[in-house]
Amino acid sequence: MTEENASANQEWLTGQIDYEGFPLLLRRPKDLDYDLLKDSFPNLVVVQHQFAKTKPSGLPEDDYNLGLADFDDEVVNYFRNRKQGITVLVETFGGKRNYYMYADADADFDKAKAHFKQSYPEHNISWTIKNDPDWGFIKSYEKEFF
């Protein structure tokens, strides 16, 4: 993975691998301490964004992807800006982008969903929220892909 400064105050590692014959783009924050953070953020939140315009590879069309910058930044930082969670992985594959976050038990998920539905009605997004207090998902993902 290579380093990227995706936001002014957080460094990200990025990479691309082939998965099932298609490109899989990965982005994750550098130097997260899973064991320290897991006690504060027990809920796994997955926001899935189905792209409206894709290349045959499943990646978003270039111009369309450039237009997603504000949306992407807001999804990545939504819980972090509210001190309610952190994004641990952004995955682009197969015509969609998945944002994997961990959030605290008091995060208002209904408010977050309503915010994105109102602010970005043109985007096809879905939410999955489940309890994962040991951060099993990201630890397993890291073993397979990093």
Q: Which domain holds residue 125?
A: 33-145
Note whether residue 10 is domain-resident.
no
> Does some domain include residue 22?
no
The per-residue pLDDT for 143 is 84
Name the amino acid, one letter, at 59.
L
Q: What is the pLDDT of residues 15-61, one digit of tens each?
A: 999 999 999 999 999 988 898 999 999 999 999 999 999 999 999 99
Which pTM does this prediction carry? 0.93
Task: Report if residue 8 sits inside a domain.
Answer: no
The number of distinct structural domains making up the chain is 1
pLDDT tens, 60-110?
A: 999 999 999 999 999 999 999 999 999 999 999 999 999 999 999 999 999
In a domain, 6, yes or no: no
Residue 61, domain CATH:
3.30.70.260
